[in-house]
Amino acid sequence: MDQGFRLSKAAMGAANDFGLDLAVIGNCHTAALLEPTSRLVWWCYPRFDSDPIFSRLLAGDEEKGFCDVVLENMMGFSSSYERNTAIVSTVLTDAQGAAVKITDFAPRFRQYGRVFRPAHLIRIIEPAGGVPQVAIRVRPTNEYGKPIEDRSLGSNHITYQGKNVAVRLTTDGPLAYIEQETSFALTKPIHMILGPDEPFAEDIGSTCREFADRTRDFWMDWVRRLSIAYDWQDAIIRAAITLKISNFEETGAIVAALTTSIPEAPRSGRTWDYRYCWLRDAYFVVKALNRLGATETMESFISFILGIAAQDPLRPVYGVVPTEGLDEVVAPNLKGYRGDGPVRVGNEAALQHQNDAFGSIVLAAMPMFFDRRLPRPGDEGLFRFLESLGLRAAKAAFTPDAGIWEYRSRTHIHTYSAAMCWAASSRLAAIAAHLGLDESARDWTETANKIQDVLLEQAWNDKRQAFTSAFGTEDLDASVLLLPDIGLIEPTDPRFAQTVSAVEKELLNDKHVKRYAANDDFGMPEVAFLACRYWLIDAWWSLGRREEARELFVDSLRHRNSYGLLAEDIHPVTGELWGNFPQTYSMAGLILTAMRLSRSWEDRYWRG
């Protein structure tokens, strides 16, 4: 355990507002969020994008949608991940020194030649000193916030029957006390399994302990196979595990976040459902997984992306099952995070045109041709398939779209979107050359050069002395910091240094970087986008500003929550995390920047 002991703000931890100081547990099929006092406040069941059984995170001031352990006269608590795992261990202590230890995880391990990852959460509650008096409360919801009132008790289980879902709590604890939320003396371990309404034939206690041991072994083994940098190893490992948990392994999708409708800023109305897979994330996520050596997860994600790439029109976002619709509606039974709604289900961005998607797919597919570790390398057939995307990218390069930031009420010819269309052509030329398809290589090089010439001319703004967010505008946009990263220009190009300088002046605020500083559909943005800080750090590094880059990166680590996780946004004044959580974009950015800035193993380890 690497977190220190903390005193509670109130006698009962359930009364505290922990904000986004939350841990995530999951097994690549289901995932849940819990507070530092072990209260489970978010669990979409059975999938990441399903109706939440535990919805307290978005319930405002209503005490519904959670599962917790209430220790009488609680005075303190500590909570952390077990090292290199997705298992959370929490200790609650009362005024007399009695303590209870709670272990939470979603089981995941290899069994019968495949990975066992059921839609289960497991909780082990055991006395850790004295005779603690505890109450166990289970208050599930369905239909996005309606309490489940229908319940039935068996010999060792309670079934909660909702309108369209049934969840079973199987336990060796006292059902009468749990059902009535009555306090009792905890004198021996209690084991709880939450999941499908199915009989559980095995011994509950020994099964939970075995699952905990095997899940612990799985994660320890997965981590030991990673390729990580010398510096900031713990931060990279935690980010890598979080990326893995966000992978819906059944289809290969990786979701942008595990939540919906955590506002980007207080009272902003910027509440979106991020429990889906954005094509724009593909390039960054594949790059991060590649650097980590997590090739199986990377291959699975690439297969998911390629499986939907033939669709026309190509949507910017898909569900974990990509054939399902993402119609956006408001959930009236949830008041929102801290009462700040609306809570949205589905995402209207699926209807937008975002031209960067073409380049994101082609870039994501690059390892299939160039990474020799992969067992099934890309061939001419895959190249010809990607060519169809390249043709669409070349056609769309200079057409207006909603852009990377998904403006809802206006379109422009966005610099980043055009740059990713160029990237599609440029990478297709490289793949063709790699496969010995000389004529195709020449054709795609010519296409790329034409797009590049127009793009660099039209995106440059003499007045601002910078590449701006879109053709014909003076607005700045942090996404232009990525132009050297995708290869459109060299970091040594004077125009890039000038662009970085302009971004610093307008978008950098007390070490935090905003996406843009212009009015959008909801007014002027209030918060900074965490991934944009990593883009600026990378830009400084490429310009030779190494010490500044390292200092800004080290400072970024201070803004992770106590479990080492990041949301989408941060308020530059209060330092609070905002936006959906945990954010794939942010965690991938942390990994990539850490790997770039780290000192080498050769210098720091092998040579002493």
pLDDT digits (tens, 9 = 90+) for 202-254: 999 999 999 999 999 999 999 999 999 999 999 999 999 999 999 999 999 99
Give the DSSP H/E element, type plus range, for residue 364: helix 356-365
pLDDT at site 15: 56
Q: Which of 458, 314, 317 is nearest to 391 (CA)?
A: 314
pLDDT at site 607: 59
- What's the predicted TM-score (pTM) here? 0.95
> Span 332-361, mean pLDDT?
96
The band of 78, judged by pLDDT with boundaries at 50, 70 and 90, is: very high
Q: Which of 300, 335, 459, 346 is nearest to 61 (CA)?
A: 335
The band of 311, judged by pLDDT with boundaries at 50, 70 and 90, is: confident
Torsions phi, psi for 167 (to 5 deg): -120, 140
- Residue 448 tokens read as 């790329």
Q: What is the pLDDT of residues 511-557, one digit of tens each?
A: 999 999 988 888 888 999 999 999 999 999 999 999 999 999 999 99
pLDDT at site 9: 37
Strands (E), 451-544: 460-461, 466-467, 508-509, 512-513, 528-529
> Span 422-429, mean pLDDT?
98
How far apart, in whole angstroms, are the C-alpha atoms of residue 153 and residue 238?
39
Q: What is the pLDDT of residues 7-49, one digit of tens each?
A: 333 334 445 899 999 999 999 999 999 999 999 999 999 999 9
How far apart, in whole angstroms, are the C-alpha atoms of residue 364 and residue 302?
7
Please identify which residue in the block is written with the tokens 């609680």. 74
* pLDDT > 70: percent of the chain: 97
Residues recorded for the chain: 608
How far apart, in whole angstroms, are the C-alpha atoms of residue 424 and residue 389?
8
pLDDT at site 54: 98
Give the DSSP H/E element, type plus range, for residue 163: none
Give yes or no for a contact between 374 and 380, defined as CB atoms under 8 angstroms apart. no
Q: Considering all CA atoms of the chain, what is the largest pairwise distance in Å, rounded to the nearest integer?
A: 80
Mean pLDDT of the chain: 94
The three-point CA angle 196-200-206 to 5° equals: 120
pLDDT at site 608: 53
The band of 166, judged by pLDDT with boundaries at 50, 70 and 90, is: very high
The band of 604, judged by pLDDT with boundaries at 50, 70 and 90, is: low
Burial of residue 289 (CB within 10 Å: 0-12, 13-18, 19+) is buried
- Residue 339 tokens read as 């009462």
Q: How far is CA 403 from CA 354, 409, 510, 587, in A?
A: 6, 11, 26, 22
Q: What is the SS3 assignment for 283?
A: helix
Q: What is the pLDDT of residues 463-507, one digit of tens each?
A: 999 999 999 999 999 999 999 999 999 999 999 999 999 999 999
Q: What is the SS3 assignment for 269?
A: coil
Give yes or no for a contact between 362 and 426, defined as CB atoms under 8 angstroms apart. no
pLDDT at site 3: 38
**Sign of the C-alpha dihedral computed for residues 7, 13, 16 and 18 taken in this order:** positive
Q: Which of 209, 156, 158, 208 is nearest to 181 (CA)?
A: 158
Q: What is the pLDDT of residues 115-133, one digit of tens each?
A: 999 999 999 999 999 999 9
Q: Residue 321: which residues within 8 A CB-CB, separation 6 or more?
A: 251
pLDDT at site 12: 43
Q: How far is CA 585 from CA 47, 161, 164, 468, 524, in A?
A: 20, 36, 33, 22, 22
Q: What's the half-sphere exposure (Cβ side, CA atoms, 13 Å) at 216?
A: 15
Q: What is the SS3 assignment for 468?
A: coil
Q: Does residue 269 surpass a pLDDT of 60?
A: yes
Cα torsion 582, 584, 588, 591 to 10°: value is 20
How far apart, in whole angstroms, are the C-alpha atoms of residue 33 and residue 42?
5
How far apart, in whole angstroms, are the C-alpha atoms of residue 264 and residue 282?
22
Give yes or no for a contact between 59 and 30, defined as CB atoms under 8 angstroms apart. no
How far apart, in whole angstroms, are the C-alpha atoms of residue 274 and residue 49?
9
> Span 361-390, mean pLDDT?
95
Alpha carbon distance, N-terminus to C-terminus of the chain: 28
